[in-house]
Amino acid sequence: MYGYRCEYCEGTVQPLKVKREAFKHKSGFVILEDVTIGICNTCGNRYYSADILHAVNDIATGAKSPDRIDQIPVTHLESA
């Protein structure tokens, strides 16, 4: 499903198995674990298969329940 040419450079998109990958969506984040994403071997741009994007969308919209909910630490910088 990967192995195609990068959209941004001459590189090739290679499959890469990652422990965690965070996806941003309208109302927050979804984290997928042990997922195979595509990464360009030249510029490092990340690519996601339709399966991954569907899974993120299903969790984000509540169509599917997540395995668990992790809390994400949030803070403000006083000096910012």
Pick from 4, 23, 26: nearest CA to 14: 4
Residue 56 binding Zn ion, by CB under 5 A: no
User: Which one of residues 37, 40, 55, 60 is an interface residue with Zn ion (CB under 5 A)?
Assistant: 40
> What are the DSSP E strand ranges found in the chain?
13-25, 28-40, 46-47
Cβ count within 10 A of residue 61: 11
Q: Toward Zn ion, which CB reaches closer, 8 or 29?
A: 8
| Binding-site member from 1, 9, 22, 63 for Zn ion (CB under 5 A) | 9
Work out whether 61 is an interface residue with Zn ion (CB under 5 A).
Answer: no
Q: Which residues bind Zn ion (CB under 5 A)?
A: 6, 8-9, 11, 40, 42-43, 45
